[in-house]
Amino acid sequence: MSKWDFSEIRTLYDVQQILKMFNIYVYVGKRIWDIEMTALELDNLYNMHVISKDVWLRSKLVLQREHRLEEDRSKGEL
């Protein structure tokens, strides 16, 4: 993998940069759908033993937070 500091995974953009290292680009049209598809792609990379458990867990936490924020936005809470 590249010289990415995986302790700095904090945003959806950071997770997307990990996928980009494997030529995986996600754009479905709605942000919440992008987050869900990104989570599926991340699971696939982990199941193929291409990314570490630490990277996978950090990324999943970021995606869970982003998904929750996006749901709140769609309900008008933010």
Other CB atoms within a 10 A radius of the CB of residue 45 amount to 18
Spatial CA neighbour of 66 closest among 22, 36, 41, 42: 36
pLDDT of the residue at 3: 59
What pLDDT does 1 receive? Answer: 43
Burial of 22 (0-12, 13-18, 19+ CB in 10 A): middle
Digitized pLDDT (tens) for each residue of the chain, 78 residues in all = 455 677 789 999 999 999 999 999 999 999 999 999 999 999 999 999 999 999 999 999 999 999 999 999 998 866
